[in-house]
């Protein structure tokens, strides 16, 4: 059986409304919101009786999605929002943007903060990391030229 696609990346947040607003400003579309609860959900996650409010955000091309989750019960137990870029495990989501400077200007109005600086990689990309709502680490990449991969 072949892999079909990556369906979504899940992010647990405390302030679902502010996080939805941030990702809307970035350019994602709200696909839907729902309350996930009951015995079946707890069997999937191993958390038992859970109650989680989710929002599914979709990229403009329709291929990528973020599932934003706010746990009402049980409460979130670990906080990785201030982990540095070299921390182990899932850490960030990278988005391709048309204009990195314009995107940063818009997202700063939503509280985004630049982690390091905007840098240029060869003649191919301008890149940066930002901290979004609740300290979420987000990567931004502006493609400058057609991608060329070097054989190693």
Give the pLDDT score at 150. Answer: 60
The answer, yes or no, to whether the previous bond of 74 is cis (omega within 30 of 0) is yes
The encoded tokens of residue 105 equal 């200007």
Give the pLDDT score at 18. Answer: 96
Q: What is the pLDDT along the chain (152 residues), one digit of tens a residue?
A: 687 788 899 999 999 999 999 999 999 999 999 999 988 888 888 888 899 999 999 999 999 999 999 999 998 887 887 788 788 777 789 999 999 999 999 999 999 999 999 999 989 999 999 999 988 989 999 999 765 556 55
Q: What 3-state DSSP class applies to 7?
A: coil
Give the pLDDT score at 131. Answer: 93
Residue found by looking up tokens 């070299």 in the block: 86
Cβ-based neighbours of 121, under 8 Å, separated by 6 or more: 127
Give the pLDDT score at 33. Answer: 98
Q: Report all structural domains of the chain as residue ranges with CATH numbers, in order of start.
A: 9-73 (3.10.180.10), 92-143 (3.10.180.10)
């Amino acid at each position: 059986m072949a892999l079909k696609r990556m369906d979504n990346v899940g992010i647990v947040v405390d302030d679902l409304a502010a996080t939805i607003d941030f990702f809307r400003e970035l350019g994602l579309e709200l696909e839907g919101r729902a309350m996930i609860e009951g015995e079946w959900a707890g069997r999937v996650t191993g958390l038992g009786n859970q109650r989680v409010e989710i929002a599914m955000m979709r990229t403009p091309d329709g291929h990528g999605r973020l599932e934003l989750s706010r746990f009402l019960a049980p409460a979130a137990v670990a906080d990785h929002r201030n982990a540095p870029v070299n921390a182990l495990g899932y850490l960030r989501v990278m988005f391709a943007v048309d204009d990195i400077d314009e995107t940063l200007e818009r997202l700063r109005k939503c509280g985004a903060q630049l982690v390091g600086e905007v840098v240029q990689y060869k003649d191919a990309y301008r890149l940066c990391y930002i901290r979004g709502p609740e300290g979420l680490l987000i990567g931004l990449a502006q493609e400058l030229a057609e991608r060329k991969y070097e054989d190693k």
